[in-house]
Structure 1
Amino acid sequence: MKTLQAVRGMNDILPADSALWQYFERTVADLLTGYGYQQIRLPIVEPTELFKRSIGEVTDIVEKEMYTFDDRNGDSLTLRPEGTAGCVRAMLQHGLLGSGVGQKVWYTGPMFRHERPQKGRYRQFHQVGVETFNLTGPDIDAELIALSWRLWQRLGISDAVKLELNSLGTSADRARYRDDLVTYLKARFEQLDEDSQRRLASNPLRILDSKNETTQALLVDAPKLADYLNDEARAHFTELRALLDAIGIPYQINPRLVRGLDYYGLTVFEWVTDQLGAQGTVCAGGRYDGLVEQLGGKAAPAVGFAMGIERLLLLIETLGKVPAELARQVDVYLVTLGEAAVTAGLRLAEQLRDRLPGLRLVVHAGGGSFKSQFKKADKSGALYALVLGENEVAEQQIGLKPLRTEEEQENLSWQDLPARLAQII
Structure 2
Amino acid sequence: MASSNIHEPVRVTEDTEPYYKYTGPFKSGMAIANHYGFRPIAPLEPDEKIKRIFQEKTKKEKRERTDKAGEWYIDAADKLAEVDAYFNEMDGWEQPVMAAHTLHPRRKTGKVRMTIFGSTKSIAEGLILKATLSILEEMGHTDMCVDLNSLGTQESRNQFLEDFIAHYRDNLNDLGDCCQTQFKHDPLKVIMCDNDTCLEIQDDAPQPITYLTDETREHFKECIEYVETFGLPYRINHQLLGSSHNDSHTLFQIYTSGEDDDGDRNILARGERHEHMPKQLGYNRCLPTISVSIDMPGQQYESYTEVESESVQNPKLYYLHLGKEAKRESLPVLEQLREAGILVIHSLSYDGLSPQMQQAKDMNIPYALIMGLKEVQEGSIILRDMFTRAQETIPQDRVATRVKKVVKEE
Give the TM-score normalised by the residue count of structure 2: 0.58
> Match of 1:281?
267
Q: Is the 8 A contact 1:264 1:288 kept in 2?
A: yes
Alpha carbons of structure 1 residues 246 and 305: separation in structure 2 relative to 1, 3 Å: same
Alignment of structure 1 residues 78-89 onto 2, 5 Å:
83-89=78-84
Secondary structure at 2:218 match in 1: helix
Alignment of structure 1 residues 92-241 onto 2, 5 Å:
92-94=87-89, 96-97=90-91, 101-112=95-106, 124-159=108-143, 161-241=144-224
Distance 1:65 1:256 in 2: 18
Give runs of ≥4 in structure 1 deviating > 6 Å. Answer: none
Secondary structure at 2:104 match in 1: strand
Task: Identify which of 256, 265, 286 aligns with 2:239.
Answer: 256
Residue 246 of structure 1 and its aligned partner are, at CA, apart by 3.2
Alignment of structure 1 residues 223-372 onto 2, 5 Å:
223-260=206-243, 262-273=245-256, 274-276=258-260, 277=262, 278=264, 280-297=266-283, 298-310=285-297
When Rg is computed on C-alpha atoms for both structures, the one with the higher figure is: 1
Secondary structure at 1:63 match in 2: coil
> Match of 2:388?
none
Q: Is the 8 A contact 2:148 2:240 kept in 1?
A: yes
**RMSD, aligned CA:** 3.0
Distance 1:242 1:56 in 2: 39
Alpha carbons of structure 1 residues 184 and 265: separation in structure 2 relative to 1, 3 Å: same
Supply the AA of the counterpart residue of 2:277.
L
Structure 1: segments with no counterpart, 5+ residues: 1-20, 67-79, 113-122, 314-425
Secondary structure at 1:64 match in 2: coil
Task: Identify which of 81, 86, 89 aligns with 1:91.
Answer: 86
Residue 42 of structure 1 and its aligned partner are, at CA, apart by 3.8
1:274-306, Cα deviation, whole Å (9 max, x unpaired)? 343336222101101222343233322110100
> Match of 1:73?
none
Alpha carbons of structure 1 residues 171 and 55: separation in structure 2 relative to 1, 3 Å: farther
Residue 154 of structure 1 and its aligned partner are, at CA, apart by 2.2
- Pair 1:29 & 2:30 matched: yes
Alpha carbons of structure 1 residues 184 and 270: separation in structure 2 relative to 1, 3 Å: same
Residue 124 of structure 1 and its aligned partner are, at CA, apart by 3.9
Distance 1:98 1:293 in 2: 19
Higher relative contact order (CA 8 A, sep 6+): 2
Q: Is the 8 A contact 1:271 1:283 kept in 2?
A: yes
**Percent sequence identity over aligned pairs:** 21
Secondary structure at 1:219 match in 2: helix
Alpha carbons of structure 1 residues 177 and 133: separation in structure 2 relative to 1, 3 Å: same
Secondary structure at 2:222 match in 1: helix
Q: Is the 8 A contact 2:58 2:245 kept in 1?
A: no
> Match of 1:38?
39
Structure 2: segments with no counterpart, 5+ residues: 1-21, 65-74, 301-410
Q: Is the 8 A contact 2:109 2:299 kept in 1?
A: no
Supply the AA of the counterpart residue of 1:268.
L
Distance 2:192 2:152 in 1: 17
1:192-221, Cα deviation, whole Å (9 max, x unpaired)? 133431343442222223344432332011
> Match of 2:307?
none
Of residues 191-200 and 174-183 in structure 1, the stretch that sits farther from structure 2 once superposed is 191-200
> Match of 1:12?
none
> Match of 1:58?
58
Q: Is the 8 A contact 1:164 1:270 kept in 2?
A: yes
Supply the AA of the counterpart residue of 2:98.
K
Residue 242 of structure 1 and its aligned partner are, at CA, apart by 1.8
Distance 2:53 2:217 in 1: 28
Distance 2:162 2:187 in 1: 9
> What is the aligned length?
265
